[in-house]
Amino acid sequence: MIRRLTAKEINLLPIYVHSAASYKHQNAITRVPAVSLKNIQLSFCRNGEGVFIDSSNKKHTIQKGSLFYFRPGLYHSYEPSSYPWSIDYIVFNGYMANKILDQFGFGQDGVIYPPSDFFDKISASFSGIVKNYLDGDNLS
């Protein structure tokens, strides 16, 4: 039998995907701490260019292959500077989520510029997670 997990059961998971999607064009987003996400978000730029403004008000250029991320409760904004600006994102959490980011040296928010030869691997990973999330029953 498959059943929906309770909030208490979800909180026992080391890491879980809360939501995931792929946008052919990402519109501008601004979040202040009072209405910020309660989960971690990791986004991948598939195509185009945009700007990410982190919690320190520092602007980062987001180009094809860039990753940007932020932890819960932080001011952040991102917006396209080209059309289309294609973005995949994964929102996740779990009792190990922050520890995993810490182990990889991630700060509170930021941008990662992987070498271009990693594009296909990162793209396939995001596609798989988004597909699995969208094909599932989204029981969380």
Instruction: Decide: helix, strand or coil at residue 135.
Output: helix
Report the pLDDT averaged over residues 81-105: 94
Instruction: Decide: helix, strand or coil at residue 3.
Output: coil
Q: What 8-state DSSP symbol labels residue 26?
A: P
- φ and ψ of 98, to 5 deg: -65, -35
What pLDDT, on the 0 to 100 scale, is given for residue 5? 76
Is the peptide bond preceding residue 84 cis, with omega within 30 degrees of 0?
Answer: yes
In whole angstroms, give the CA distance from residue 128 to residue 65. 16
What pLDDT, on the 0 to 100 scale, is given for residue 69? 94
Per-residue pLDDT reduced to its tens digit, 61-82: 999 999 999 998 888 999 999 9
